[in-house]
Amino acid sequence: KGSGPTQSDLLRARMRLSLQERLWDFYQHDVDIPAEEQAVARKAALDICAELRVFLHAKLPDMPLREMYLSGSLYDDLQVVTADHAQLMVPLILEKNLWSSIPGEDTIMNVPGFWLVRRENLEYFPRNSSYWDRCMVGGYLSPKSVLEVFDKLVGTINWPAIGSVLDYVIRPVVPSETLTLEVQYETDRKLSVDFLPLLVMEDGTSLIAKPHRLAAERHENLWRQSFRVAETARLRALDQEDGGYRCACLKVAKAVCKLNPALNRLNASQLTNAILLLSEKQANWTHEALADNFLQLVKALVGYLEAGRLPCALSPRVNLFCELTEQEVDELGYTLYCALSEPELLLVT
Ligand code: GDP
Protein backbone atom coordinates (compact mmCIF):
# COMPACT_ATOMS: atom_id res chain seq x y z
CA LYS A 1 0.00 0.00 0.00
CA GLY A 2 2.86 2.41 -0.81
CA SER A 3 4.42 4.57 1.88
CA GLY A 4 1.33 4.95 4.03
CA PRO A 5 1.25 4.10 7.71
CA THR A 6 2.50 0.60 8.57
CA GLN A 7 0.44 -1.97 10.40
CA SER A 8 2.19 -1.17 13.65
CA ASP A 9 1.61 2.57 13.22
CA LEU A 10 -2.05 1.84 12.79
CA LEU A 11 -2.04 -0.45 15.75
CA ARG A 12 -0.47 2.16 17.96
CA ALA A 13 -2.89 4.78 16.74
CA ARG A 14 -5.76 2.50 17.56
CA MET A 15 -4.47 1.85 21.05
CA ARG A 16 -4.64 5.53 21.80
CA LEU A 17 -8.30 5.69 20.99
CA SER A 18 -10.80 5.77 23.77
CA LEU A 19 -13.11 2.84 24.35
CA GLN A 20 -15.90 4.83 22.73
CA GLU A 21 -13.87 5.29 19.57
CA ARG A 22 -12.67 1.70 19.63
CA LEU A 23 -16.21 0.42 19.93
CA TRP A 24 -17.46 2.56 17.10
CA ASP A 25 -14.55 1.56 14.92
CA PHE A 26 -15.22 -2.10 15.74
CA TYR A 27 -18.88 -1.61 14.94
CA GLN A 28 -18.21 -0.07 11.55
CA HIS A 29 -15.42 -2.38 10.41
CA ASP A 30 -16.10 -5.73 12.00
CA VAL A 31 -19.66 -5.91 13.25
CA ASP A 32 -21.80 -4.33 10.60
CA ILE A 33 -22.21 -6.37 7.42
CA PRO A 34 -22.04 -4.59 4.05
CA ALA A 35 -25.51 -4.20 2.53
CA GLU A 36 -24.46 -6.04 -0.62
CA GLU A 37 -23.32 -9.11 1.31
CA GLN A 38 -26.60 -9.17 3.21
CA ALA A 39 -28.63 -8.85 0.03
CA VAL A 40 -26.88 -11.77 -1.69
CA ALA A 41 -27.31 -13.99 1.37
CA ARG A 42 -31.00 -13.06 1.66
CA LYS A 43 -31.52 -13.88 -1.98
CA ALA A 44 -29.90 -17.30 -1.66
CA ALA A 45 -32.15 -18.14 1.31
CA LEU A 46 -35.20 -16.89 -0.54
CA ASP A 47 -34.46 -18.97 -3.63
CA ILE A 48 -34.24 -22.10 -1.51
CA CYS A 49 -37.40 -21.25 0.40
CA ALA A 50 -39.26 -20.88 -2.91
CA GLU A 51 -38.01 -24.26 -4.14
CA LEU A 52 -39.03 -25.93 -0.91
CA ARG A 53 -42.52 -24.48 -1.08
CA VAL A 54 -42.99 -25.87 -4.56
CA PHE A 55 -41.64 -29.24 -3.50
CA LEU A 56 -43.83 -29.50 -0.40
CA HIS A 57 -47.02 -28.44 -2.20
CA ALA A 58 -46.39 -31.03 -4.88
CA LYS A 59 -45.23 -33.87 -2.71
CA LEU A 60 -47.41 -33.44 0.40
CA PRO A 61 -50.44 -31.37 -0.55
CA ASP A 62 -52.40 -32.46 2.53
CA MET A 63 -49.81 -31.60 5.14
CA PRO A 64 -51.45 -28.80 7.14
CA LEU A 65 -48.91 -26.00 6.99
CA ARG A 66 -49.11 -22.29 6.64
CA GLU A 67 -46.74 -20.74 4.14
CA MET A 68 -43.10 -21.14 5.19
CA TYR A 69 -41.13 -17.95 5.62
CA LEU A 70 -37.63 -16.81 6.41
CA SER A 71 -36.72 -14.98 9.55
CA GLY A 72 -33.92 -14.14 11.94
CA SER A 73 -31.33 -11.45 12.37
CA LEU A 74 -30.51 -11.44 8.66
CA TYR A 75 -33.99 -10.03 8.07
CA ASP A 76 -33.94 -7.57 10.98
CA ASP A 77 -30.59 -6.00 10.22
CA LEU A 78 -29.28 -7.54 13.44
CA GLN A 79 -26.90 -10.08 11.98
CA VAL A 80 -23.24 -9.42 12.71
CA VAL A 81 -19.77 -10.10 11.31
CA THR A 82 -20.81 -12.32 8.37
CA ALA A 83 -24.15 -12.94 6.69
CA ASP A 84 -24.11 -16.67 7.26
CA HIS A 85 -27.36 -17.95 8.71
CA ALA A 86 -31.15 -17.72 8.61
CA GLN A 87 -34.16 -19.62 9.90
CA LEU A 88 -36.84 -21.11 7.73
CA MET A 89 -40.03 -20.98 9.77
CA VAL A 90 -42.46 -23.83 9.12
CA PRO A 91 -45.82 -23.06 10.78
CA LEU A 92 -47.91 -26.16 11.46
CA ILE A 93 -51.68 -25.88 11.51
CA LEU A 94 -53.24 -27.60 14.55
CA GLU A 95 -56.97 -28.18 15.01
CA LYS A 96 -58.05 -25.97 17.91
CA ASN A 97 -60.30 -28.58 19.50
CA LEU A 98 -57.73 -31.35 19.28
CA TRP A 99 -54.66 -29.75 20.81
CA SER A 100 -54.05 -27.63 23.89
CA SER A 101 -50.91 -26.08 25.35
CA ILE A 102 -49.80 -26.46 28.94
CA PRO A 103 -47.23 -24.04 30.38
CA GLY A 104 -44.03 -25.70 31.64
CA GLU A 105 -44.49 -24.34 35.16
CA ASP A 106 -47.73 -26.34 35.44
CA THR A 107 -45.96 -29.61 34.65
CA ILE A 108 -43.72 -31.77 36.82
CA MET A 109 -40.71 -30.43 34.90
CA ASN A 110 -41.53 -26.94 36.16
CA VAL A 111 -39.73 -25.03 33.39
CA PRO A 112 -41.25 -21.64 32.55
CA GLY A 113 -40.68 -20.79 28.88
CA PHE A 114 -41.34 -24.34 27.70
CA TRP A 115 -44.72 -25.91 26.95
CA LEU A 116 -46.36 -29.26 26.41
CA VAL A 117 -48.88 -29.60 23.61
CA ARG A 118 -51.47 -32.17 24.61
CA ARG A 119 -53.81 -34.10 22.36
CA GLU A 120 -57.43 -33.59 23.50
CA ASN A 121 -60.69 -35.41 22.84
CA LEU A 122 -59.12 -38.68 21.75
CA GLU A 123 -62.34 -40.50 22.70
CA TYR A 124 -64.39 -38.55 20.14
CA PHE A 125 -61.68 -37.87 17.64
CA PRO A 126 -59.54 -41.02 17.62
CA ARG A 127 -55.94 -41.22 16.56
CA ASN A 128 -55.34 -39.97 13.01
CA SER A 129 -58.22 -37.47 13.15
CA SER A 130 -55.43 -34.93 13.10
CA TYR A 131 -52.63 -35.10 10.54
CA TRP A 132 -50.15 -34.37 13.33
CA ASP A 133 -51.26 -37.38 15.38
CA ARG A 134 -48.43 -39.21 13.65
CA CYS A 135 -46.08 -37.10 15.78
CA MET A 136 -47.87 -37.85 19.03
CA VAL A 137 -45.77 -39.42 21.78
CA GLY A 138 -47.44 -40.41 25.04
CA GLY A 139 -50.42 -38.16 24.34
CA TYR A 140 -48.32 -35.10 23.48
CA LEU A 141 -47.16 -33.57 20.24
CA SER A 142 -43.45 -34.32 20.09
CA PRO A 143 -41.22 -31.61 18.57
CA LYS A 144 -38.58 -34.26 18.01
CA SER A 145 -40.97 -36.36 16.00
CA VAL A 146 -42.10 -33.31 14.00
CA LEU A 147 -38.47 -32.56 13.17
CA GLU A 148 -38.01 -36.16 12.08
CA VAL A 149 -40.87 -35.81 9.58
CA PHE A 150 -39.08 -32.89 7.96
CA ASP A 151 -35.74 -34.57 8.24
CA LYS A 152 -37.02 -37.53 6.21
CA LEU A 153 -38.58 -35.20 3.70
CA VAL A 154 -35.42 -33.19 3.21
CA GLY A 155 -33.64 -36.49 2.64
CA THR A 156 -35.88 -37.22 -0.35
CA ILE A 157 -35.17 -33.94 -2.09
CA ASN A 158 -32.73 -33.97 -4.96
CA TRP A 159 -30.55 -31.13 -3.70
CA PRO A 160 -27.84 -31.41 -6.35
CA ALA A 161 -30.50 -30.91 -9.02
CA ILE A 162 -32.06 -27.93 -7.30
CA GLY A 163 -28.63 -26.56 -6.52
CA SER A 164 -27.52 -26.70 -10.11
CA VAL A 165 -30.65 -24.88 -11.27
CA LEU A 166 -30.00 -22.13 -8.72
CA ASP A 167 -26.25 -22.28 -9.16
CA TYR A 168 -25.65 -23.08 -5.49
CA VAL A 169 -24.20 -26.07 -3.73
CA ILE A 170 -26.84 -27.24 -1.27
CA ARG A 171 -26.51 -30.05 1.22
CA PRO A 172 -28.27 -31.09 4.40
CA VAL A 173 -25.95 -30.94 7.39
CA VAL A 174 -25.63 -34.32 9.11
CA PRO A 175 -25.53 -34.90 11.93
CA SER A 176 -27.10 -31.80 13.33
CA GLU A 177 -29.27 -31.27 16.38
CA THR A 178 -31.49 -29.02 14.35
CA LEU A 179 -32.40 -29.61 10.73
CA THR A 180 -30.01 -27.52 8.71
CA LEU A 181 -29.23 -26.92 5.06
CA GLU A 182 -25.87 -25.60 4.08
CA VAL A 183 -25.87 -23.44 1.00
CA GLN A 184 -22.74 -22.37 -0.73
CA TYR A 185 -23.83 -19.46 -2.85
CA GLU A 186 -20.41 -18.13 -3.82
CA THR A 187 -17.04 -19.79 -3.74
CA ASP A 188 -16.18 -18.27 -0.39
CA ARG A 189 -19.63 -17.70 1.05
CA LYS A 190 -21.79 -20.14 2.92
CA LEU A 191 -25.17 -19.81 4.50
CA SER A 192 -26.82 -22.22 6.89
CA VAL A 193 -30.58 -22.38 6.91
CA ASP A 194 -32.30 -23.97 9.92
CA PHE A 195 -35.75 -25.50 9.61
CA LEU A 196 -37.78 -24.30 12.54
CA PRO A 197 -41.23 -25.90 12.86
CA LEU A 198 -43.50 -23.46 14.67
CA LEU A 199 -46.88 -23.53 16.43
CA VAL A 200 -48.86 -20.35 16.94
CA MET A 201 -51.35 -21.05 19.71
CA GLU A 202 -54.77 -19.41 20.00
CA ASP A 203 -53.57 -16.75 22.44
CA GLY A 204 -50.71 -15.83 20.10
CA THR A 205 -48.01 -17.76 21.97
CA SER A 206 -45.31 -18.95 19.54
CA LEU A 207 -43.77 -22.33 20.21
CA ILE A 208 -40.80 -23.64 18.26
CA ALA A 209 -39.45 -27.17 17.83
CA LYS A 210 -36.07 -26.41 19.29
CA PRO A 211 -35.25 -28.87 22.02
CA HIS A 212 -34.29 -27.97 25.57
CA ARG A 213 -30.50 -28.04 25.55
CA LEU A 214 -30.11 -30.12 28.65
CA ALA A 215 -32.78 -32.39 27.27
CA ALA A 216 -33.02 -35.32 29.53
CA GLU A 217 -35.57 -37.75 28.22
CA ARG A 218 -38.37 -36.18 30.22
CA HIS A 219 -37.76 -32.86 28.49
CA GLU A 220 -38.15 -34.38 25.06
CA ASN A 221 -41.76 -33.37 24.50
CA LEU A 222 -41.24 -29.74 25.45
CA TRP A 223 -41.82 -26.97 22.94
CA ARG A 224 -39.85 -23.78 23.39
CA GLN A 225 -41.70 -20.52 23.65
CA SER A 226 -40.22 -17.95 21.29
CA PHE A 227 -40.12 -14.31 22.34
CA ARG A 228 -37.94 -13.25 19.46
CA VAL A 229 -40.47 -11.24 17.48
CA ALA A 230 -41.72 -9.33 20.53
CA GLU A 231 -38.33 -8.67 22.11
CA THR A 232 -36.79 -7.48 18.86
CA ALA A 233 -39.77 -5.22 18.19
CA ARG A 234 -39.54 -3.72 21.67
CA LEU A 235 -35.84 -2.97 21.31
CA ARG A 236 -36.39 -1.34 17.94
CA ALA A 237 -39.35 0.71 19.23
CA LEU A 238 -37.28 2.07 22.14
CA ASP A 239 -34.55 3.15 19.71
CA GLN A 240 -37.11 4.80 17.50
CA GLU A 241 -38.61 6.77 20.39
CA ASP A 242 -35.34 8.40 21.40
CA GLY A 243 -33.03 7.89 18.42
CA GLY A 244 -31.03 5.54 20.63
CA TYR A 245 -28.23 3.08 19.90
CA ARG A 246 -29.58 0.02 21.69
CA CYS A 247 -29.56 -2.07 18.50
CA ALA A 248 -25.99 -0.96 17.80
CA CYS A 249 -25.04 -1.92 21.34
CA LEU A 250 -26.72 -5.31 20.83
CA LYS A 251 -24.81 -5.86 17.60
CA VAL A 252 -21.49 -5.03 19.25
CA ALA A 253 -22.31 -7.44 22.07
CA LYS A 254 -23.38 -10.16 19.62
CA ALA A 255 -20.16 -9.77 17.65
CA VAL A 256 -18.10 -9.91 20.84
CA CYS A 257 -19.81 -13.17 21.79
CA LYS A 258 -19.47 -14.58 18.28
CA LEU A 259 -15.76 -13.78 18.03
CA ASN A 260 -14.73 -14.81 21.56
CA PRO A 261 -14.90 -18.60 21.96
CA ALA A 262 -15.27 -18.19 25.72
CA LEU A 263 -18.48 -16.22 25.16
CA ASN A 264 -20.06 -18.32 22.39
CA ARG A 265 -22.70 -19.62 24.76
CA LEU A 266 -24.38 -16.23 25.10
CA ASN A 267 -27.06 -15.82 22.47
CA ALA A 268 -29.00 -13.01 20.85
CA SER A 269 -32.05 -13.48 23.05
CA GLN A 270 -30.09 -13.24 26.30
CA LEU A 271 -28.26 -10.13 25.11
CA THR A 272 -31.45 -8.51 23.82
CA ASN A 273 -33.22 -9.07 27.11
CA ALA A 274 -30.27 -7.82 29.14
CA ILE A 275 -30.40 -4.59 27.10
CA LEU A 276 -34.17 -4.32 27.53
CA LEU A 277 -33.75 -4.66 31.30
CA LEU A 278 -30.91 -2.13 31.28
CA SER A 279 -33.16 0.27 29.35
CA GLU A 280 -35.52 0.30 32.32
CA LYS A 281 -32.77 1.88 34.46
CA GLN A 282 -30.66 3.67 31.92
CA ALA A 283 -32.20 6.60 30.05
CA ASN A 284 -29.33 7.78 27.86
CA TRP A 285 -28.81 5.62 24.78
CA THR A 286 -27.21 8.23 22.55
CA HIS A 287 -24.23 7.50 20.36
CA GLU A 288 -21.95 9.17 22.93
CA ALA A 289 -23.18 6.79 25.63
CA LEU A 290 -22.36 3.64 23.63
CA ALA A 291 -19.20 2.76 25.58
CA ASP A 292 -20.85 3.50 28.93
CA ASN A 293 -23.84 1.40 28.09
CA PHE A 294 -21.71 -1.41 26.73
CA LEU A 295 -19.81 -1.53 30.04
CA GLN A 296 -23.09 -1.36 31.96
CA LEU A 297 -24.31 -4.30 29.90
CA VAL A 298 -21.21 -6.35 30.68
CA LYS A 299 -21.59 -5.49 34.35
CA ALA A 300 -25.26 -6.42 34.34
CA LEU A 301 -24.48 -9.75 32.68
CA VAL A 302 -21.86 -10.51 35.34
CA GLY A 303 -24.55 -9.89 37.96
CA TYR A 304 -27.11 -12.10 36.23
CA LEU A 305 -24.52 -14.85 35.86
CA GLU A 306 -23.63 -14.60 39.54
CA ALA A 307 -27.29 -15.04 40.35
CA GLY A 308 -27.58 -17.83 37.76
CA ARG A 309 -30.67 -16.11 36.49
CA LEU A 310 -31.53 -13.73 33.65
CA PRO A 311 -35.25 -12.99 33.62
CA CYS A 312 -36.89 -12.58 30.23
CA ALA A 313 -38.03 -8.94 30.00
CA LEU A 314 -41.34 -10.02 28.49
CA SER A 315 -42.03 -12.87 30.90
CA PRO A 316 -39.98 -12.54 34.10
CA ARG A 317 -40.62 -16.08 35.29
CA VAL A 318 -38.58 -17.36 32.35
CA ASN A 319 -34.89 -17.76 33.22
CA LEU A 320 -32.89 -17.29 30.04
CA PHE A 321 -29.87 -18.93 31.67
CA CYS A 322 -31.74 -22.12 32.51
CA GLU A 323 -30.02 -24.10 29.78
CA LEU A 324 -26.47 -23.28 30.88
CA THR A 325 -24.55 -25.71 33.06
CA GLU A 326 -23.04 -24.43 36.30
CA GLN A 327 -19.60 -24.64 34.77
CA GLU A 328 -20.64 -22.59 31.74
CA VAL A 329 -22.17 -19.97 34.01
CA ASP A 330 -18.91 -19.76 35.97
CA GLU A 331 -16.76 -19.49 32.85
CA LEU A 332 -18.93 -16.83 31.24
CA GLY A 333 -19.05 -14.87 34.48
CA TYR A 334 -15.29 -15.07 34.89
CA THR A 335 -14.56 -13.97 31.32
CA LEU A 336 -16.92 -11.01 31.53
CA TYR A 337 -15.73 -10.05 35.00
CA CYS A 338 -12.14 -9.88 33.75
CA ALA A 339 -13.31 -7.85 30.77
CA LEU A 340 -14.67 -5.12 33.03
CA SER A 341 -11.15 -3.88 33.73
CA GLU A 342 -9.93 -4.30 30.14
CA PRO A 343 -12.95 -4.20 27.84
CA GLU A 344 -10.75 -3.62 24.79
CA LEU A 345 -9.68 -7.24 25.00
CA LEU A 346 -13.20 -8.22 23.99
CA LEU A 347 -12.91 -6.45 20.66
CA VAL A 348 -10.91 -9.17 18.94
CA THR A 349 -11.06 -9.21 15.17
P1 GDP B 1 -28.40 -14.61 15.71
O2 GDP B 1 -28.58 -15.92 15.06
O3 GDP B 1 -27.49 -14.63 16.87
O4 GDP B 1 -28.03 -13.54 14.76
O5 GDP B 1 -29.78 -14.22 16.34
P6 GDP B 1 -31.27 -14.26 15.81
O7 GDP B 1 -31.92 -13.12 16.44
O8 GDP B 1 -31.33 -14.41 14.34
O9 GDP B 1 -31.85 -15.55 16.50
C10 GDP B 1 -31.78 -16.78 15.91
C11 GDP B 1 -31.85 -17.84 17.00
O12 GDP B 1 -33.06 -17.67 17.75
C13 GDP B 1 -31.89 -19.22 16.44
O14 GDP B 1 -31.10 -20.03 17.27
C15 GDP B 1 -33.34 -19.64 16.54
O16 GDP B 1 -33.44 -21.01 16.77
C17 GDP B 1 -33.83 -18.85 17.72
N18 GDP B 1 -35.24 -18.42 17.60
C19 GDP B 1 -36.16 -18.45 18.58
N20 GDP B 1 -37.33 -17.97 18.16
C21 GDP B 1 -37.15 -17.59 16.88
C22 GDP B 1 -38.02 -17.00 15.91
O23 GDP B 1 -39.19 -16.71 16.16
N24 GDP B 1 -37.48 -16.74 14.69
C25 GDP B 1 -36.18 -17.04 14.42
N26 GDP B 1 -35.72 -16.74 13.21
N27 GDP B 1 -35.34 -17.60 15.30
C28 GDP B 1 -35.82 -17.87 16.53
Distance from Cα 192 to the centre of ligand 1, integer Å: 13
ipTM for the whole predicted complex goes beyond 0.95: yes
**Is pLDDT above 70 for 184?**
yes
What tens digit of pLDDT does each residue of 140-169 get? 999 999 999 999 998 899 999 989 988 999
What pLDDT is attached to residue 82? 96
**Is pLDDT above 60 for 22?**
yes
Mean pLDDT (the chain) is 93
The percent of residues above 90 in pLDDT, for the chain, comes to 83
Q: What is the dihedral of CA 251, 257, 260, 265, to 10 degrees?
A: -160
> ∠ CA 214-150-46 to the nearest 5 degrees?
105
Q: How many Å apart are CA 67 and CA 76, to the nearest integer?
A: 20
- CB of residue 224 inside a 6 A radius of ligand 1: no
Distance from Cα 305 to the centre of ligand 1, integer Å: 22
Give the residues across from 192 on adjacent strands.
Answer: 85, 182
- Find out whether 161 and 215 touch, Cβ atoms under 8 Å: no
**CA-nearest residue, atom 23 of ligand 1:** 228
Distance from Cα 73 to the centre of ligand 1, integer Å: 7
What tens digit of pLDDT does each residue of 102-148 get? 999 999 889 999 999 999 999 999 999 999 999 999 999 999 999 99
| Number of neighbours of residue 249 by Cβ within 10 angstroms | 27
What tens digit of pLDDT does each residue of 50-78 get? 999 998 889 999 999 999 999 999 999 99
Is 345 or 10 the better-scoring residue by pLDDT? Answer: 345
pTM, 2 dp: 0.93
Distance from Cα 39 to the centre of ligand 1, integer Å: 19
**CA-nearest residue, atom 9 of ligand 1:** 72
**Is pLDDT above 90 for 339?**
yes
- CB of residue 229 inside a 6 A radius of ligand 1: yes
What pLDDT is attached to residue 305? 98
- CB of residue 251 inside a 6 A radius of ligand 1: no
Residue 177 confidence class, pLDDT cut points 50, 70, 90? confident
- CB of residue 72 inside a 6 A radius of ligand 1: yes
Distance from Cα 225 to the centre of ligand 1, integer Å: 12
What tens digit of pLDDT does each residue of 199-228 get? 999 999 999 999 898 866 778 899 999 999
- Atom of ligand 1 at shortest range from CA of 85: 2
Distance from Cα 268 to the centre of ligand 1, integer Å: 7
What pLDDT is attached to residue 1? 47
